[in-house]
Each structure stands twice: as structure tokens, then as C-alpha cells.
Structure 1
Amino acid sequence: MLIHPWDAAHEDTEWQDWLAVHDFGQLAVNGRPGEPPYVQPMHFAYDAERGEAVTHLARPNPLWPALEANPDVLLTVVDDYVYVPGPWQAAPEGPSEDGVPTSLYAAVQLRCRAHVVDDPAEKAELLNRQVGHFQPEGGSARVAAGEAPYGRRLSGIRGLRLEVAEVRAKFKYAGKRPTEVQDRIAVELSRRDGPRDGVAREHLLRRRKA
């Protein structure tokens, strides 16, 4: 992923805060010789203090042999994306038809070392961490190995701890454009008011203030 200086995260808390609420991504695992990579869509819980993400997948998932052969993986999340028509990006002094269309988006890529979790007690602890993230208000029974209602189902899954080795974060929101163009994009996003237009506009204005 190409990251220009004007699109880079201003500080670690920017991508960490964004990742805390954008917790559905794709796990890319190197394929076995002669096979393409495996790409698994999934929910995950990122823990900034521990520097890891946790998740679980069904035991029959075909990616396990490839993951065990090469535990270096990439977890990627992309969201808050919008299409920007060319006229919105036209230079202030030029004709609108000369503007170049583009995409605005946020993306975080975590290069990780995957650790497979098969011990029932460790899997239960991992699942409780996930549930605590997605259901902080509670409402579900706590998972415990060998205990109802979930203990007997632990054998059907394998846990994953993704130890983060490198982070690449990008917030592409017209950071290189003149103020007049940024203002025009913000106005047009507000006027169009389509899916994700509002949050893209918030990113643009927030990053300009920073």
C-alpha cells in the first residue's frame, strides 16, 4: 500500500482509535506452493496494550495448513471510502472538467505473526476477550472449557492470536489539495449525503485541523 506523507496517520492514536471501531477485516495468509493466498473475512478484536488482535475460525477452514506452514500474515481493514468526481477536485483557477476523480478512504494493515490457540482454556479466554469487545454491555454467558453452554463447542473452532509486528495506516482525505479544493469537496460530500459521505467529510475536516 502506497502511503504519501500527507496521507499517513498523524499519530498512533489516530489509527488505533479508528481500528477500535472498525473491527471487521480480511486476513491474508500465504498460499501453499502453487496455490494463491487465502483471504478470510472476519471479525476481530484489536488490543492496543498487548499489541495483538484476537479472533477464531472454524476448524474445517482450509487456511490452517497454509497458516501453520507460514505464520506471517496480513490483516487489512478498509472503510469510510467514497468516490470523488473529477470536477470536485479541479484546481481553483482551472475548468471543472479538468479535475481528476479519485477515492477517499481509510485503511490499516497489520503485519502479524499468527499463533494458533488449541488449548480449551486458552480458547475460552480468547473468546471472552472477543465477546467483551463486541458486547461490552454483556448479555451472553461466559465461556469456560467443559462447561455449558459453550464449553462442548470449543472443539469446533481454533483460536488465533495475531501478534502485530508492523502497522501501515493511511487516511487519504485530500491532504495534498489546496484549501479551496478541500472546502469544495467537503461541501459536495455534504450535499450528496450518500453512504459514508458524512464520515469521509469528518475525516477530511478533522485531519485539516490537525
Structure 2
Amino acid sequence: MLIHPWDAARDEEEWQTWLRTRDFGQLAANGVNGGPPILVPTHFLFDGDKEVVLHLARPNPIWAAIEACPAVVVSVHDDYAYIPTGWRADSPETGVPTSYYASVQLTCAAEIVDDKEGKMEILRRQLAHHQPDGDHGEMRSDAGPYHRMVSALRGLRLEVVEVRAKFKFDDHRPVEQRERIAAELAARDLPHDAGARAQQLRRLVTG
């Protein structure tokens, strides 16, 4: 993705803080034999630094792609909103529309996990994250309610080797204009407007 200097994350802490509160995105792998990329929507667990773990069903077509090339991308976007023409100019006739959004793309080296205990360890970590107050049952690879199901899935450990982070909220525009757009987002109040406004105002205050 194109990242202008004014849209870039200001430091590692900014994108890491944003990503720690999100756990669903797209896993992308190169297509096999020149085929198109394979994209899988999935929950994942980011450790806050250098590792992502997840699991997928064994029949998933992405496994062949990862086995052919272990370089993958985890892509996450959120806090997006359409900004109409008139919000960025004195009239709709002279304004140019845009999109506000935050996006983090993690380029990773993938390691497939097929041993039962390794897969169970990933499941334990994911359940502890997604169901922190839930009853997970006995999470063992050799007994309990889950051990017979483990063969139906494969695990993934992804080592983060490159990060591309973008916070596109008109940081290069005058403060007065950005404050006006924030007010417009609050008034329109579509499902994602509050998140986009919060990110825009955070960048405005910390800029």
C-alpha cells in the first residue's frame, strides 16, 4: 500500500498499540504455480511484538500455498470512513473525497505446526485471549474433549519480519479543516465514524 510520510505510523508503539486491540484480519499467501493470491479471513493472536499465531482447518487451500512459499502477509484494517467532497473544501464542487482508515500489514515467515502438542499450545493461547472468562475445558493433546479434534486442523506460527503501518487521517491538512471533519463525523455517526474520528483526533492531539 502507498504510505505518504504524513500517513506513516509515528513509531512502533503507535501501530503495536493499535494492533493489540484487534484480532481479526486477512491472511494472504502467494498463489501456487502463478495463480492468484489466496486470502483467508481469520482470527489471530498477536503477541504485541514479533509473533502471530492462529489455526485453520486442514482442508483450507492456503496450506499448499504456504508450503510452496512461506512468505505471507497478515493484513488488518479498521477505523475507516468515507469523507465526502464538501467536507474537505468550501463546496462539494471543489472538494476531493477520500477515505480515512488505519491499516497494518505484517509480512511474516510462516511455520506450519502439525504436532499435537504444538497445535494444542496455540489453541490454549487463542482461547485464553478470546475467552478470558470462559470455561475452556481440559486442553490436552492426549485426553479431554478436544484431543480427537486436533487432527482436523493445522497451526501456524508467523514470525514478523516487516511491518507496514498507515494511519490515513489527513494529517497534512490544516488543523481547522481536520477539526471540521471530526465534527462532521460525529454528526453523521455511521457505524465506523466514531472509530475514524477517534483516530483522527488522537493524531491531531499527538501530532
Partner SS state of residue 172, structure 2: coil
- 1:198 match: 194
CA contact (8 A) 2:85 2:91 kept: no
Q: Which amino acid aligns with 1:143?
A: M
Q: Which residue of 2 aligns with 1:38?
A: 38
In the TM superposition, residue 48 of structure 1 has moved relative to its aligned partner by 2.0
Q: Which moved more, 1:127-136 or 1:105-114?
A: 127-136
- CA deviation profile, 1:34-55 (whole Å, cap 9, x unmatched): 3111111100000124x11000
Which residue does the alignment assign to 1:186?
182
- 8 Å contact from structure 1 (residues 128, 142) kept in 2: no
Following TM superposition, by how much is the alpha carbon of 1:196 offset from its aligned partner in structure 2, in angstroms? 1.1
Name whichever of 186-195 and 31-40 sits farther off.
31-40
Classify the secondary structure of the residue corresponding to 2:15.
helix
Alignment of structure 1 residues 54-65 onto 2, 5 Å: 54-65=53-64
Unaligned runs of 5+ in 1: none
Q: Counterparts of 1:154 and 1:38 in 2: how far apart (Å)?
A: 24
| Structure-1 residue corresponding to 2:88 | 89
- Where do 4+ consecutive residues of structure 1 move more than 2 Å? 94-97
Return the offset for 1:95: 4.1
Distance between the aligned counterparts of 2:24 and 2:38, measured in 1? 16
Supply the distance in 2 between the matched residues of 1:157 and 1:170 (Cα, whole angstroms).
33
SS at match of 1:98: coil
Counterpart CA distance in 1 for 2:55 and 2:106 is 17
Partner of 1:157: 153
CA displacement, residues 13-64 of structure 1 (integer Å, 9 cap, x when unaligned) = 2111211122111111101113111111100000124x11000010111121
Q: What's the TM-score once normalised by structure 1's chain length?
A: 0.95
The alignment yields a C-alpha RMSD, in angstroms, of 1.1
What TM-score do you get using the length of structure 2 for normalisation?
0.96
State whether residues 110 and 167 of structure 1, in contact with CA within 8 Å, keep that contact through their aligned partners in structure 2: yes
Change (3 A) 1:149 1:177: same
Give the SS at the match of 1:97.
Answer: coil
Q: Distance in 2 between matches of 1:142 and 1:13?
A: 36
Residue identity over aligned pairs, in percent, reads 54
Which segments of 5 or more consecutive residues in structure 2 lack a partner in the other structure?
none
Provide the rounded CA distance (Å) in 1 between the counterparts of 2:83 and 2:186: 12
> In the TM superposition, what whole-angstrom CA distance separates every residue of 1:70-107 from its partner, at most 9, and x where no partner exists?
000111011111000011011xxx54521110000000
- Kindly report which structure 2 residues correspond to 1:72-87, keeping only aligned pairs within 5 A, or say none: 72-87=71-86
Work out the CA distance in 2 between the residues paired with 1:80 and 1:64: 30
User: Take 1:142 and 1:160, find their aligned partners in 2: how far apart are those partners?
Assistant: 22
Q: 1:16-35 to 2 correspondence within 5 Å?
A: 16-35=16-35
